[in-house]
Amino acid sequence: MPEDHSPAIFTEFLTRTLASIPRSDQRRWGELYVRGLLSVDGKKTMRALATHAGGGVEQSLYQFITKSPWDCVPVRREMARHLHLRTEPRAWVVRPLVITKVGQHSVGVERQFVAQLGRIVNCQQGMGLWLASDRFSTPVDWWLALPECWTDEPEMRRRASIPEHVGSCPPEQCAIGSVVRMTEEWNMPARPVVMDLRDTAPFPLCAELMDRQVPFVVRVDPAKSHTLVEPLRPADRSPAHVSAADPDGGLTGALSRNRMPVEWLDHRTGAVRATSVGSARVRLRSPGGGRDGRQDLVLLGAWGKPGRRTPSEYWLSNLSRPRLGTVYRTAMLGRRVERDQAEVSDRLGLRDFEGRSFRGWHHHMTMVSLAHAITMLSRADRGPAPESSVPRSAKVSAA
C-alpha cells in the first residue's frame, strides 16, 4: 500500500463496510481488490491487480467482481452512513460519468449523444452521488443508465445479467432514484442536492424533490425552451409573465436589483474568489402545461466575468430563507467533486472496468468508491489540506 495511506484506516474502514458480505473469502478478495486499486500504477486491469497480489489470483478476483452474487447496496449504505458521520457533508453532489468504449459488448454501451461533450460517442453513461464539503468529497452510490436497446432485448439482458427490476432510465432520473434510496431506504438526513439540469427539463425532477422534501441547488438555463422560470412580483408573489430574454424587465433585471459580491473557495485552484451574484424569487413551470409549480423558489444569477450584461450561470434552489452566499457556495461544491474525481477516482480506475456484466460494473464501482474514501480519510488524518487553511481575506480574486 502507498506510504501516504493509513493502514489503520484501510483495515478499520473495510472491516466496517465489507461486513455485509457473508463469506470471509469474498471479504478477503474485496480487501485484495481495493489494495490493488490503491497500489497499482496505470490502468487497473484484472491482470495488473492480480500481478500486484503475487500472481495466481486473477481468476478469483474476476469471479469476485463479475460473478459472485454479493450485494453491493449494503456495502454502499454502510460507507455512506459512516462517511456522513465522519465528514459532515454540506451537500450531495450528482456528477455524470461518461466512459467511452471501443466495442459494443460492455453493458449499457451505445452510440449516443452526450450533452457534456456536445457530440455522439460510443460510451456508457452513469451518475455518481457524492458526499461533499469544502475539505472532502467521495462517491457513495452509482447508477448505470441503460438505453432501451439493452433493456428491451431479452438476449442483451441475459448476456449482461441485467436484473428483471432494472429498466431504461435517463441519467438524471437515475440520480433522483439514488437520492430517494439514500433518504428513504438508508434513512440518511438529506443534504442539498447539487446537480446540472441545463440539458433537461428541470420541472419534473425539481417537483419530485420538492414532493419528497429534499433540498436542492440545481443549475438551469432559462434561455432554453424546456426551462420556464418566471420572476415573481414582490407584492403579491404572482408571476410577472415576462420573457427571460428581456434583460430589463425579466430575470436579468430582477437578479441585478439584488446583486452582491460573494466570496467562495474555488476547489479547482485553491484560491478564494469573489463573484457578483444576484437573487430573485421565481416560479418554475412545466413546459408541457402540466401541474403548476406552486412553491416559490429562489434563482441565483452569477456574473462570472466583469462587464457582462447577463449572468454567466443560473442556479435554482428550494432552500428555505437561505443566505445568498450560502446557496452559491453550496453550488460551487461541484468543483470539489470535479477535482477529486480527476485527481483521485480516475487514477483509482473509475473508468477501467473491462467486464461486460451489470453486476460486475456495480461491484467495480463500489470497490473504487471504497478506495477513494480510504484515500480521502487518510489525507484528512494527516491534517487539513493547504487550501482549507487559506484565510477568507487572502488573495481574493474576481471570478
- ∠216-118-167 over CA atoms, to 5°? 60
The predicted pLDDT at position 4 comes to: 78
First to last CA, the chain: 40
Q: Hey, which bits of 286-342 come out as E strands?
A: 297-303, 313-317
The predicted pLDDT at position 387 comes to: 44
The predicted pLDDT at position 249 comes to: 47
Q: How far apart are CA 218 and CA 251, in angstroms?
A: 17
Question: Any idea where the domains of the chain sit in the sequence?
Answer: 202-335+394-398
The predicted pLDDT at position 287 comes to: 75
What is the DSSP code string of 23-42?
-HHHHHHHHHHHHHHHH--S
The predicted pLDDT at position 289 comes to: 61
Q: How far apart are CA 365 and CA 66, in angstroms?
A: 12
Q: How far apart are CA 87 and CA 70, in angstroms?
A: 27
In tens digits, the chain (399 residues) has pLDDT values of 677 789 999 999 999 999 999 999 999 999 999 999 999 999 999 999 999 988 789 999 999 999 999 999 999 999 999 999 999 999 999 999 999 998 888 999 999 888 888 899 999 999 999 999 999 999 999 999 999 999 999 999 999 999 988 998 888 888 999 999 999 999 999 999 999 999 999 999 999 999 999 999 999 999 988 888 888 876 545 555 444 444 444 888 899 988 999 999 999 888 999 999 999 999 888 877 655 555 689 999 999 887 788 999 999 999 977 789 999 999 999 999 999 999 999 999 999 998 889 999 999 999 999 999 999 999 988 876 444 433 333 344 455
The predicted pLDDT at position 150 comes to: 93
Q: Provide the 3-class DSSP secondary structure of residue 72.
A: helix
The predicted pLDDT at position 395 comes to: 41
The predicted pLDDT at position 218 comes to: 97
Name the pTM for this structure.
Answer: 0.90
Instruction: For 103, list phi and psi in degrees, rounded to 5.
Output: -95, -165
- ∠62-68-70 over CA atoms, to 5°? 130
Q: How far apart are CA 251 and CA 265, in angstroms?
A: 27
